[in-house]
C-alpha cells in the first residue's frame, strides 16, 4: 500500500495561528512564569514554535506517552514511555500536544500531572478532532479543529514518517 499527502493547513496558516496562541498565552499569564510540558514526539515542533512566540519567562520539560502502535487506530491504552525530569510543584503548567483525538492520552496525563501539585494546569493542542472524543477533556488552547481524517506533518507521523513536513496534510491511501 502506498500513500499520498494532501495539504490541509499550509505552513503560513499554521505559523500564523501559533503566533496568535503565543500572544494569547503571554497575555493570559502576564506577570507569571510558565512551564511547558511537551508530549513527545508529536508535540515537539509545535512546542518549539510556540515557545518562540511567548514573551513571558518559559521553562520546558518533555515526556513521552503512547496510545498508538504503528496503525491509525487507538489502542486505548496509555503508556508512559518517558517521564518528566523536573517536579511540577507550584508551577503553572501547560501541556503541549500535537493533537487531541479520543482524548484518552490527555485525560490520563492531566490526572497524573495534576497529582504532582502544580499551581495550575492547562492544555494547549495544535489540532483537535472533536468528532472522535470518547473522554471528557477540557482543552484551553486549540490551534485548529479538523475533521476526522488521519493527518501528518508538523510533528505528527504515520508509521514514524512525515513528522518533518512544515505543513499539515491528510494521508490518502491509494
Helix pair angle (11-28, 43-52), 10° resolution = 60
Quote the CA–CA distance of 125 and 151 in Å, as a whole number. 14
Our answer to whether residue 101 is catalytic in this structure is yes
Quote the CA–CA distance of 138 and 23 in Å, as a whole number. 20
- State the binding partner of 67 from Mg ion, ligand IMP, none, CB within 5 to 8 A by kind: ligand IMP
68-87: contacts with ligand IMP (CB under 6 A): 68, 74
Work out the widest C-alpha separation in the chain, in whole angstroms: 52
- State the binding partner of 25 from Mg ion, ligand IMP, none, CB within 5 to 8 A by kind: none
Size of the site for ligand IMP (CB under 6 A): 17
Q: Which of 61, 90, 98, 101 is catalytic?
A: 101
In the complex, the smallest distance separating the C-beta of residue 89 from ligand IMP, rounded to whole angstroms, is 26
Closer by beta carbon to ligand IMP, 66 or else 120: 66
Choosing from 42, 118, 143, 169, the residue that interacts with Mg ion (CB under 5 A) is: 42
- State the binding partner of 150 from Mg ion, ligand IMP, none, CB within 5 to 8 A by kind: ligand IMP
Quote the CA–CA distance of 173 and 118 in Å, as a whole number. 43
List, in sequence order, every beta strand (DSSP E) within 13-152: 34-40, 58-68, 74-82, 92-100, 120-128, 141-145, 151-152
Amino acid at each position: 500500500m502506498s500513500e499520498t499527502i494532501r495539504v490541509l493547513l499550509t505552513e503560513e496558516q499554521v505559523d500564523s495561528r501559533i503566533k496568535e496562541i503565543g500572544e494569547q498565552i503571554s497575555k493570559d499569564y502576564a506577570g507569571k512564569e510558565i512551564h511547558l510540558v511537551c508530549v513527545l514526539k508529536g508535540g515537539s515542533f509545535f512546542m518549539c514554535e510556540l515557545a518562540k512566540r511567548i514573551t513571558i519567562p518559559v521553562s520546558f520539560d518533555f515526556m513521552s506517552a503512547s496510545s498508538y502502535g504503528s496503525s491509525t487506530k487507538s489502542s486505548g491504552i496509555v503508556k508512559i514511555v518517558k517521564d518528566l525530569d523536573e517536579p511540577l510543584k507550584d508551577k503553572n503548567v501547560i501541556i503541549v500536544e500535537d493533537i487531541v483525538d479520543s482524548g484518552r492520552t490527555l485525560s490520563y496525563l492531566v490526572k497524573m500531572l495534576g497529582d504532582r501539585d502544580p499551581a495550575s494546569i492547562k492544555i494547549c493542542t495544535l489540532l483537535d478532532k472533536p468528532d472522535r472524543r470518547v473522554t471528557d477533556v477540557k482543552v484551553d488552547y486549540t490551534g485548529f479543529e479538523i475533521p476526522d481524517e488521519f493527518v501528518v506533518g508538523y510533528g505528527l507521523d504515520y508509521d514514524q514518517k512525515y513528522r518533518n513536513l512544515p505543513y499539515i496534510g491528510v494521508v490518502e491511501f491509494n
